[in-house]
Amino acid sequence: ASAHVVVVGGGFGGATAARYLRRYLPEVKITLVEPAQRFYTCPFSNLYLAGLRSWESIGHGFDGLRKLGIEVVHASAEGVDAAARTVRLSNGSTLKWDKLVLSPGVDMQWNKLNGYDEAAAELAPHAWKAGPQTQLLKRQLEAMKDGGTFVMTIPENPFRCPPGPYERAAMVAHYFKQHKPKSKILLLDAKTAFSKQALFMQGWKALYGEMIEWIGQSDDGEVVRVDARKREVETAFGQIHRADVLNVIPPQKAGFIAERAGVSNGSGWVPIKGDTFESAQVQDVFVVGDATIAAPMPKSGFAANTQGKVVAAAIAAQVRGQDLPAASYANTCYSLIGPGYGISVAGVYRAENGKVIEVPGSGGVSPLDGDQRFRQAEARYGEGWYAAITADIWG
Ligand code: FAD
């Protein structure tokens, strides 16, 4: 019988893997398991908060993948039996696979931050998975009075999208500047430094003056307790901050199916082989995207997309008994600070001795002395990137 590849998760990594598997292995059956009928992207969800993008414009369906002959099953994977090579679904069925790809993204580590559980997230949204949480945060921002304070708490590394919180701060500032100019934004960070920091701080100041205040770990920015009902947070040294809108981005881990498949380790994340993204612990199970330990690659949609392509090529080579192609990975994270003001960080990666390494001399960040035309061009590149990658994945 011909092979069957099952892909779990129809987000950035999984949908890419399914599409490129179809391209490289036209004769093989491919099934994509994803509960959502429509996938809403975290990329550009901050622009939705700013009022610069509609909700519908960041949603993508699965008809494009179906048209290619990929079977899409709207269910959740509940369990994996690696010895029997099966995956059990929430709709009661069990699929048998020859190769399994997991791209489940992240789950929140409830209660790791004292007081922050699923119920608390209904009052103080994380909005770190695009969906009802993002829409809740937007409604809260819209209901806030002018002169209110928006407080965001930011976790330690590693977490999904290192520049994401700081782009969100800028996009909320854009919204406030238009509609509630007396309001404040307070960022409480468990880290001492962050991605593209100098560029963000320069852009925040240029566009929003003193509206955004960032407090790093060394200045008592680390939040250790959340009271979502009172919209209060407490820092490591006991300082209480009160918010009118509270956005808690909690510590994260690989999506739950990773643990059930036996591919995650004590860190909560998934160790992989750097040249194939096959699990380092379970043969024939491949894992891509945010769930993996792929540093120095960041947890980004762009990274998940290039990892998905490498996995498709690796599985195709294994199924055909061919030599593995040399893996190459890339990433660019664009961030929008205001309309016509974009910045970016880029890198190119390859595998060496089973580890992912950054190619020396590749990538870098936007110049700090970039002029307005440069920032404008990068804002346009960001839009082009979004259109291109979503077409590449779900189009
Ligand atoms: P996801 O894209 O989240 O996909 C996971 C999918 O798996 C989900 O659809 C989920 O429903 C499904 N799933 C989970 N468990 C199961 C299961 N058991 N069974 C079946 N399905 C399951 N990245 C960029 O490159 N550029 C950006 O500008 C950018 N901006 C961002 C802004 C914000 C605010 C945030 C939060 C993130 C941003 N990111 C950005 C990061 C990007 O969203 C993630 O890195 C990317 O989504 C990771 O892809 P993934 O496939 O690992 O997970």
DSSP state of 136: H
The C-alpha atoms of residue 108 and residue 348 are separated, in whole angstroms, by 29
Task: Please state the separation of Cα 286 from the chain's center in Å.
Answer: 18
Considering the entire predicted model, what is its pTM?
Answer: 0.98
- Ligand 1 neighbourhood includes 274 CB (under 6 angstroms): no
How far CA 395 is from CA of 14, 389, 391, in Å, comes to 14, 9, 4
User: Which DSSP string do the residues of 69-123 spell out, in sequence order?
Assistant: T-EEE-S-EEEEETTTTEEEETTS-EEE-SEEEE---EEE-TTTSBT-SHHHHTT
Mutate to test the pocket of ligand 1, among 8, 16, 38, 42 (most ligand atoms within 8 A of CB): 42
Query: Which ligand 1 atom lies nearest to the CA of residue 382?
Result: 28
Mean pLDDT of the chain: 98
Distance of CA 131 to the CA centre of its chain: 13
Whether ipTM tops 0.90, in short, is yes
Q: How many angstroms does the Cα of residue 105 sit away from the middle of ligand 1?
A: 5
Decide: 8 in ligand 1 pocket, CB within 6 A. Answer: yes
Q: How confident is the model at residue 1 (pLDDT cuts 50, 70, 90)?
A: low
Per-residue pLDDT tens digits for 119-143: 999 999 999 999 999 999 999 999 9
| CA 299 / ligand 1 centre spacing (Å) | 9
Q: 311-327, pLDDT tens digit by residue?
A: 999 999 999 999 998 99
Distance of alpha carbon 248 from alpha carbon 231, whole angstroms = 10
Name the residue of 93, 161, 331 whose CB sits within 8 Å of the most ligand 1 atoms, as the mutation to test its pocket: 161
The CB of 14 under 6 Å from ligand 1? The reply is yes
pLDDT above 70: residue 388: yes
Neighbours of 227 (CB within 10 A): 18
Q: Comparing C-alpha atoms, which of 371, 315, 275 is closest to residue 99? A: 315
pLDDT band, very low/low/confident/very high, at 2 (cuts 50, 70, 90): confident
Q: Whose CA is nearest to atom 42 of ligand 1?
A: 301
pLDDT given for residue 67 in this prediction: 98
Q: Strands 86-89, 94-96: parallel, antiparallel or unpaired by DSSP?
A: antiparallel
pLDDT in tens, 158-192: 999 999 999 999 999 999 999 999 999 999 999 99
Q: Where do we find the tokens 């468990």? A: 190
Look at residue 349 and give its three-state secondary structure. strand
Q: Say what the pLDDT of residue 192 is.
A: 98
Q: Summarize the confidence of residues 377-385 as an average pLDDT.
A: 98
**Whole-number Å distance between alpha carbons of 273 and 135:** 37
For ligand 1, atom 31, name the residue with the nearest CA. Answer: 43
* 356 has a pLDDT exceeding 80: yes
Distance 12 CA to ligand 1 centre (A): 6
* pLDDT tens string 39-79: 999 999 999 999 999 999 999 999 999 999 999 999 999 99
Query: Is the C-beta atom of 48 inside 6 A of ligand 1?
Result: no
**Average of per-residue pLDDT across 209-232:** 98
CA–centroid distance, 61 to ligand 1, in Å, is: 15
Confidence band, pLDDT 50/70/90 cuts, at residue 252: very high
In angstroms, what is the span from residue 199 Cα to ligand 1's centroid? Answer: 25
Which residue among 7, 12, 97, 138 is best mutated to probe the pocket of ligand 1, counting the most ligand atoms within 8 A of its Cβ? 12
- The fraction of the chain above a pLDDT of 70, given in percent, is 100
240: Cα separation from own chain's centroid: 29
Ligand 1 pocket mutation, candidates 160, 167, 306, 344, criterion most atoms within 8 A of CB: 160
